[in-house]
A = this chain, B = another copy of it.
Amino acid sequence: MEKVFMIYLIGMSGSGKTTIANALQEKLESCGRERIQVIDGDIIRKQFGDIFGNTYEERMKCNRAVRVVVNYLIDNQISVILAQVAAYKEMRRLVREQFAECYIEVYVKCSLSECARRDVKGYYKKFYQGEISNLNGANDVYEVPEDYDILIDTEKETVEESVQKIVSYLEENGYVL
């Protein structure tokens, strides 16, 4: 049986998490690796009904709810690629602890200025126009990851290079046969 993984793609909004998550899933599926679920932190937040706010406590609650989903999937041998800002060290610690056996942390690094320039989801524009507050990395805290397993720099690497880094890690650690 294939070894299940839980890839946690973390980084600021606009860093490129979703792009990499989808490209990674496509790449793995093209290699015959099935049963992979991509979960986008913004999408699942909406699926939950936008009931979670943007304070530390609310984000931690939201993260806990997301972990419930991930846990049921992992329990059923579905690998997960979770793309989430994950601004807090404690949040990452809890995810790592819960999925210790299959946890792979990928820090998707990108400067604030470049994230704001890309502004894929329009959050930075809304933030600078005062329509949203508490944007991690801008006015709100983003505790820079230190314990990641893989570092991706989307200002220096192509998507293909980043995806290949993760695939190589999976191969080296027995996740892809």
Contact = CB atoms under 8 A, between A and B. Distances in A.
Contact of A76 (B47, B64, B73): B73
A172 B78 CA distance: 29
A76 B71 CA distance: 14
A-side interface size class: 10 to 19
How many copies of this kind of chain does the complex include?
2
A82 to B, nearest CB: 11
Given A37-B72, A39-B72, A69-B68, A51 B61 contact: yes
A48 interface: yes
Interface of A: 35, 37, 39, 44, 47-49, 51, 61, 64-65, 68-69, 71-73, 75-76, 78
18 contacts: A35-B76, A37-B72, A37-B75, A39-B72, A44-B68, A47-B68, A48-B64, A48-B65, A49-B61, A49-B64, A51-B65, A65-B65, A68-B69, A72-B72, A72-B73, A73-B73, A76-B76, A76-B78
